[in-house]
Structure 1
Amino acid sequence: MGVELTMPDLGNLSERRQPLECRVALVSNDRDLSHNWVDALNTTAAQHENPFGLCFEAVTVPAIESRLREDERLQAVIIDAGSCRDELKSAETLSDHMHKLRSQLNVFLVAQDSFLSEEGGAPASLRKRFDELFDRREGNFNHMFRLVQAFIARRASTPFADTLKEYVFSARDAWHTPGHSGGDSLRNSPWVGDFYRFMGEHVFNTDLSVSVQVLDSLLEPHSVIQEAQDLAAQVFGARHTFFLTNGTSTANKVVIQQILGGGGKIIVDQACHKSVHHAIVMNRIEPVYLKSTLHPQFGIYGPVCRTDIEKALDAHPDAALLVITSCTYDGLRYDLKPIIDYAHERGVKVLIDEAWYAHGYFHNELRPTALECGADYVTQSSHKMLSAFSQASMVHVQDPDFDEFRFRENLNMYASTSPQYSMIASLDVARKQMSMEGFGRLRSCLKMVETLRREVDATGVFRALTCDDLIPAPLAKDNISLDPTKVTIDVTASGYSGKEIQVKLFDHFGIQVEKTTYNTVTVLVTLGSTESKLLRLVHALKQLAKHPRKRSHVGTARQLPEFTHLNCLPADAYFSETEELPLMDNGVAAEKKLVGRTCADEIVPYPPGIPVLVPGQEISPQIVQFLQQLLQGQNSTEIHGLIFRSDEPMIRVMKEPVGSSGDGAAKSGKAKKRK
């Protein structure tokens, strides 16, 4: 009784099967020093415990760039600054260049002690550029080896995931929530035991209660969760990072409430994620909507024109926050730095929804990221492109005016008090993976993209769209770029619609794509993409290309009707007394009833998920006709926000006061109790 029950560490079995090899490059033009040190360090590595497989090698300054670009196993660089100040400056320049190519590498400086003195002129940023300093006269190679190993071990650590694993293997009896008690409620059940066996043991025994104090608290972290978040901030280049287990939807709401809780003005892309629109309602915010651009040939919505953003910032000096989505669902990325700088010059904070771009920081061809461009807040869906579980997200912060206490309170208003611990662990592990092998993984992804694009074009029927293909004409001068991991394929020449190709790929080849438009399908190349999956996708497309349909059934893009105007704050409309009006109702009759009324809900066709109406917006004839067209025909579009009564689509609008012939309540801004 009372004996500590522990299990052996089984978490590194895969590492034992595949021994690690971490290469450390000593960059020096001093041949004697570099070879002497490399020989001594490799001898030391052979004599000591070396779990990461550290292997030291000499590299000249001219050769280091190719190694950075090609060697995925390179984990650290030691730069010899020589013996004069000019060479130190060169070392700093080289370190900065390395960071642009491989942001995650540990970098060490070899110098003389004179550089550390004020007379030596060592810059104040020395410690920011280099993880550790070594004197050129160093003779204790045991100590140097251990220091390099310790820095790599720090990056490779997963403090929360390791603690969770250790707790599970300690096999404690659970007299706390959740009720399945580590799966015991299901394991031997004749009715649901099959679900336990299907899901696996660890899905249940890692699903624990906040009562387990050794696992820290997501809402008030002080130990392993805080340590994991600090590591994530360091890896992603933020001042602070926060984990969330209910998605980037919650992350956006928390940040917006942080800046505009209680009201104020926000400048926002009309095509932003619906969570932003929800936050506008919840915090009684006044939105200034920016019009998205449409590519008429493919029905793809792109970024907002930079000039429109700048005009909005100039016209609304009282705005507190600018919200931009980069990259978009289709992979289009803003040239963010000039936009962020323009906003900051006017005292406006910037939130970048980077839900689809959590991987961007880990390969030089995908940078700069929003944080590198100066964004105050960045939200990322770690599950979309990285290896985290669904709903696992992060918020990265570098706002110089950041109030951490208030942020935690805002976060606590939205976060569950019963977080999923396996989801937190997946964030910890996803961060480790990107830190240790993100560059190599993404390098493989980009090679797959090249192959996929080449083979798609070779079919002569399907075509992989380029950045130039996807950028609408109004954005031609905005320096928009494309995330290559989103591959959009034009299917027009096949004679089938994007939806029909999606169904054929699924039914006949067992392939599920990410999204479609009327004449495109989009696939994601992620860390989980494999050569075998690529082979099967290419084979499927080649087979489909052999049998094009002679008579095309591909439709044309339906452009979103123009945004009308707001009759009141979105919150006033959403929480007002309302009535429901039919959308179809013989077409013309419905139009007469709806036109001029104020919508109380967000009406969003999906895809692409861009609102046609937001709460408080006046309904126009074009909007009614557009929505009616989407619901007609065999390929009707899913529309969020409609209410169906006996299969009849209805729109909730602000109720008119008795005796009014117009939408007086809406236009006066008087909000009554919600129906």
Structure 2
Amino acid sequence: MNPVSRVLIVSHDAVLARAMSKGLQLAAQTLSNPFGLCFSTAASPQNALADIAADGELQMVLVDRYLQSGGSYGDVVALLNAIGEYRPELSCYVLLGDEDEKLQIDELASHALSGYFYRDEADYPGWFRILSAELAEKSATPFYDALRRYVSMAKDSWHTPGHCGGESLRGSPWVGDFHEFVGENMLRADLSVSVPMLDSLMHPTGVIAEAQALAAKAFGARETYFATNGTSTSNKVIFQTLLAPGDKLLLDRNCHKSVHHGVILSGARPVYLDSSVNRQYGIFGPVPKATIFQALADNPDARVLILTSCTYDGLRYDLAPIIEAAHAAGIKVIIDEAWYGHARFHPALRPTAMEAGADYATQSTHKVLSAFSQASMIHVNDPDFDAHLFRENFNMHASTSPQYNLIASLDVARKQAQMEGYRLLARTLKLAEELRLKIDATGVFRVLGLDELLPEEVKGDGVRLDPTKLTIDISRSGYGAGELQRELFERFNIQVEKSTFNTLTLLLTIGTTKSKVSRLMDAMLRLARAQKPPRPLVRLPEIPRFTRLACLPRDAYYEAGERLALFDDEGRPNSALIGRVACDQIVPYPPGIPVLVPGQLIDESVLTYLARLMKAQKGIEMHGLADLQGEMAIRVLGEEDLSRVHCNINMS
């Protein structure tokens, strides 16, 4: 399938606009046109912006300096900046009368212009070649192209990996089916650093460096780094770059567990901020703005603030004022955008963390765009960025044998997002709205709106909702969440993203289709018609507030400690744990929020919560519990450990 790339010519001069469109279209017919360049006109800025909003195949805008009769430079600049605000991925050119006009527009326009043409030249074939070259540069996939080229060379492999492009698998009576399942090209593209033309992720100077530079431009960053072991590792790399042992950081307790692991590895001193909680639905929201601002005021010595935006459920901070306040205090800001990597490419989802002023953002490109699992990006806008230190930390965590198919998928995912992300996301948003209306129409299931999802304490904080994440209230259906998930999976071949005790969450992406929506709605209608009698839903115990740290998480984690059973001999919560200091991170899933982190003091509320959870929810996963002769246990600091790590039980 060949692409279509529309170019919009904006001018009040209808004669000129027609001549340009005709001349450029003739060039498109006579010259090579691999990107399907075609041309249309708009007579006013208002018409132009309407076309830009409506046309997902639009790739470029050519703006006449004489935009409207009696118009000024300001009119042109205003349109260029409006285009940049609405769709920053579009390339913009300006048609000038002379060189002086170029200087004026350069000075006033904040949108990065791709170039200029001059009215009196009217070199339509030359202009066409320039526009085509611009598209070639934007749509290039340097690494993916090099990988395909190398695979097509069919070189004999005398290097890793051991399957030698699949040769060890092909024809095997035992594992030949794996070769057939994975495919020839996937195996031949599974290469190693022994191939110089494919560059090195550890020290990129060739096609990987080129691909990362294109990604930085597309996502609005100064620097972008590809990561092949997920956003989990990306967060740890940034922590080790910015934090030395003992440095203080502010973090949302609801952050991904990789952030808490990063605290351990860096040796930092965390100040945990309790997130807001929607108790009706068991959903954890953002940290209240007032809590963040108070923490900034109370901790002027903090070096870093890290927040998650958007959350698993699609709740996103009003980041700009938070980041501004942090920067005013000299604090760097990291935003975990694992679930929000698509936001740059549709105005309904922006601003992104980079656009709001964050110093670092980590994105799971695989979660919402077309990259393979584990493929992520780190975006950097820190004006004090130390590239050497970052590279050393990156290489400490990165494999020296990265999966080159993952790198290629990042290259391709960036290209797709930049070239057709707006169109695909517009379709996704439309499908999300249709799905919401149809689910509500069942009269049994209901999609929760922002006001229903938001905990009370953040309702005035400017929090917004990513509409591609639908949270469905199942309270009236008569099904428990686990039972409903099984019905969808076993009867209707549908797997949902996650659940709480009375909700299901659906994730819509650029891969969501009308057919999938139709199949889901058929399932929901059938389940709604079952008319099961309502039944009480088992609510999870409420997670206790954070207690306090008795020592640095790293210090507690690296001690041997001792193991104490969660329950005593009579099956009651073991009171011997109260007042002890945890060595491990204890995370019930769901909801995935640490109840204990290393160095945290265990009190009665924490112990009671863990015990109730384990007794009431048999299917829950409890990460971090130790084994003590077949019994669940918590690893805690012993008496000798306390003195060795200078543990202060009374430390706040």
**How high is the TM-score relative to the length of structure 1?**
0.93
For each residue in 1:132-168, what CA deviation from the matched residue of structure 2 results, as whole angstroms up to 9, or x when unmatched? 0111212211111111111111111111001000100
Alpha-carbon separation, structure 2, partners of 1:182 and 1:234: 34
- Whether the 8 Å CA contact 2:573–2:611 is kept in 1: the answer is no
Show the 5 A alignment for 1:351-390.
Answer: 351-390=334-373
In structure 2, what is the equivalent of residue 93 of structure 1? 78
SS at match of 2:592: coil
Select which of 558, 562, 566 maps to 2:545. Answer: 562
Show the 5 A alignment for 1:249-648.
Answer: 249-586=232-569, 590-633=573-616, 635-648=618-631
The structural deviation recorded for 1:247 is 0.3
- Whether the 8 Å CA contact 1:630–1:636 is kept in 2: the answer is no
The structural deviation recorded for 1:549 is 2.7
Show the 5 A alignment for 1:56-205.
Answer: 56-61=39-44, 62-82=46-66, 87-116=72-101, 121-124=104-107, 129-205=112-188
User: Which amino acid letter does the alignment assign opposite residue 74 of structure 2?
Assistant: K
**Cα gap change, 1:666/1:637 in structure 2, threshold over 3 Å: closer, same or farther?**
farther
Pairing 1:238–2:221 present: yes
For each residue in 1:540-574, what CA deviation from the matched residue of structure 2 results, as whole angstroms up to 9, or x when unmatched? 11111112331514112421112111111111111
For each residue in 1:426-461, what CA deviation from the matched residue of structure 2 results, as whole angstroms up to 9, or x when unmatched? 000000000110000001101110111011101111
- Whether the 8 Å CA contact 1:27–1:58 is kept in 2: the answer is yes
User: Which amino acid letter does the alignment assign opposite residue 506 of structure 1?
Assistant: F
In structure 1, what is the equivalent of residue 647 of structure 2? 668
RMSD of the alignment, in Å?
1.7
Select which of 223, 226, 231 maps to 2:206. Answer: 223
Greater alpha carbon shift after TM alignment, 109-118 vs 210-219: 109-118
Greater alpha carbon shift after TM alignment, 399-408 vs 339-348: 399-408
Greater alpha carbon shift after TM alignment, 644-653 vs 296-305: 644-653
Alpha-carbon separation, structure 2, partners of 1:597 and 1:545: 49
Alpha-carbon separation, structure 2, partners of 1:220 and 1:282: 23
**Cα gap change, 1:622/1:587 in structure 2, threshold over 3 Å: closer, same or farther?**
farther
- Whether the 8 Å CA contact 1:242–1:395 is kept in 2: the answer is yes
The structural deviation recorded for 1:575 is 1.0
Instruction: Provide the aligned length of Structure 1 versus Structure 2.
Output: 647
- Whether the 8 Å CA contact 1:389–1:426 is kept in 2: the answer is yes
- Whether the 8 Å CA contact 2:323–2:333 is kept in 1: the answer is yes
SS at match of 2:72: helix
Q: Which stretches of structure 1, 4 residues or longer, exceed 6 Å deviation after superposition?
A: 663-667
Alpha-carbon separation, structure 2, partners of 1:664 and 1:548: 62
The structural deviation recorded for 1:114 is 4.0
- Whether the 8 Å CA contact 2:81–2:109 is kept in 1: the answer is no
SS at match of 2:133: helix
Alpha-carbon separation, structure 2, partners of 1:69 and 1:402: 36
**Cα gap change, 1:544/1:122 in structure 2, threshold over 3 Å: closer, same or farther?**
closer
Alpha-carbon separation, structure 2, partners of 1:413 and 1:214: 23
SS at match of 2:597: coil
SS at match of 1:129: coil
For each residue in 1:37-64, what CA deviation from the matched residue of structure 2 results, as whole angstroms up to 9, or x when unmatched? 1111111111101111111111122311
Greater alpha carbon shift after TM alignment, 361-370 vs 629-638: 629-638
In structure 2, what is the equivalent of residue 10 of structure 1? none
The structural deviation recorded for 1:584 is 2.1
Greater alpha carbon shift after TM alignment, 220-229 vs 197-206: 197-206
User: Which amino acid letter does the alignment assign opposite residue 99 of structure 1?
Assistant: G
**How high is the TM-score relative to the length of structure 2?**
0.97
Greater alpha carbon shift after TM alignment, 96-105 vs 483-492: 96-105
SS at match of 1:460: coil
For each residue in 1:346-390, what CA deviation from the matched residue of structure 2 results, as whole angstroms up to 9, or x when unmatched? 100000000000000100100111000000000000000000000
**Unaligned residue ranges in structure 1 (runs of 5+):** 1-17, 671-675
